Amino acid sequence: MLNLIFVFIGGALGSLVRYIVSNNVILPFGTLFVNIFGCFVLGILSVFVLKRAKYIPQKLRLGLTSGFCGGVTTFSTFSYEVFVYIQKTLYIEALLYVCVSLILGILFVYFGIELCRLCLKLHLDNKRTKLRQEFLEGE
């Protein structure tokens, strides 16, 4: 039950962010932008599984991944926008939009993962050096 509450809150916040961003006139590709943003965040969060799960509480992680990332990104609006391009017989634009969304989406998941791994590694290296120094000073 608590899991569902976390997902609900995450989904509500994510949807709100998506609604505000995609209604923003400054960004012509609102849906594209939120989708890629969500992919990047999900990539970062997906590092915290298995051995690394201890860094983020499991319920919070669920709220952020299934809730927030799922809520901030959307597949239905994406499909609808493709459909609108097709209706206007803008076939090349439709294809381009699909390809750009897919490639950037996958790429940003990957960026998120790599960035997070790098940060974690730096963090752990730092910690290790500090511990070693303390140990040596203790001697």
Partner 1 sequence: MLLVCFGGGLGAVARYLLSGVINKKSHPWGTFVVNVLGCIVFGICIKLFLLNYISSRLKIFLLSGFCGGFTTFSTFSSETAHLLLGDKLDIKTGLQYLIASILIGLLGLMIGYFLPNVFS
Residue numbers at the binding site for partner 1 (CB under 8 A) = 3-4, 7-16, 18-19, 22, 35, 38-39, 41-43, 46, 65-67, 69-80, 82-83, 98, 101-102, 105-106, 108-110, 113
Tokens of 139: 């001697």
Q: Can you read off the two tokens belonging to residue 104?
A: 């950037």
- Least distance to partner 1, CB of residue 128, Å: 25
Write down the least CB distance from residue 125 to partner 1, Å. Answer: 23
Q: How far is the CB of 38 from partner 1 (least distance, A)?
A: 4
Tokens representing residue 80 in the block: 């609808």
Nearer to partner 1, 38 or 137 (CB): 38
| Burial tier of 116 (Cβ tally within 10 Å: 0-12, 13-18, 19+) | middle
* Residue with the two structure tokens 């919070």: 60
Q: Which is nearer to partner 1, 9 or 120 (CB)?
A: 9
Q: Nearer to partner 1 by C-beta: 84 or 131?
A: 84
Number of Cβ within 10 Å of residue 24's Cβ equals: 11
Q: How far is the CB of 80 from partner 1 (least distance, A)?
A: 6
DSSP state of 23: T
